[in-house]
Amino acid sequence: MEGLVYLYIFMLAGFTGYEVISRVPVILHTPLMSGSNFVHGVVLVGGMVALGSADPAEPLQLAIGFAAVLLGAANAAGGYVVTERMLAMFKGKKEGAQ
């Protein structure tokens, strides 16, 4: 049953993702792609859990876990900065126009 519950989560999350951006203006396509790129940076959390359960006596496990956390953190931080910079520009622009 638990596996089936996950299947439902997959399905509902899929429809949600599809619906959430179904009416997005073209001007926001790039920031939105960048924003969704930031959101999957939550893989950082997965990397932390994985590294946290790695055997400290196994250098290979530590190295892979370290890479997972490093890459996840870079995805999250970089994704945020780039998205925020793009959207800040839109905001400044709108005020300037009025």
Partner 1 sequence: MSAQFPVLGFIQAAYFAVAVVFILGLKAMSSPVTARRGVVWAGYAMIAATLVTFAWPGMQNFGLMALAIALGTVVAWVSGKKVAMTDMPQMVAIYNGMGGGAAAAIAALEFARGEVHGGVATTLAVCGALIGSVAFSGSCVAFAKLQGIMKKAWRLPAQNAANVLLALAAVALGYLIVAADSPAPEHVLGFFALALALGVVLTVPIGGADMPVVISLLNAFTGLAVGMEGYVLGNPALIVAGIVVGASGTLLTQLMAKAMNRPISNVIFTPISGAASGGEAVEGEQKEVGAMDAAAVMRYASKVIIVPGYGMAVAGAQHKVWEMTELLEEAGVEVSFAIHPVAGRMPGHMNVLLAEAGVPYDKIFDLEEINGDFPQADVALVIGANDVVNPSARTDKSSPIFGMPILNADLAQNVIVVKRGKGTGYSGIENALFYKDNTRLLYGSAQQAIGEVIQHVKALSV
Q: Which residues in 43-82 contact partner 1 (CB under 8 A)?
A: 43-56, 58, 60-62, 64-82
Using rule CB under 8 A, residue 17 touches partner 1 = yes
Establish if 22 lies at the interface with partner 1 (CB under 8 A): yes
Give the CA distances from residue 8 to residues 21, 42, 43, 47, 76, in Å, rounded to whole numbers and listed in that order: 21, 21, 21, 24, 27
Residue 23 is given by DSSP the state T
Q: What are the tokens at 10?
A: 């997959």
CB of 28 to partner 1, least distance (A): 6
Give the total of residues touching partner 1 (CB under 8 A).
Answer: 83
Q: How far is the CB of 5 from partner 1 (least distance, A)?
A: 10
33 binds partner 1 (CB under 8 A): yes
* Residues shown for the chain: 98
For tokens 């073209």, the residue is 26
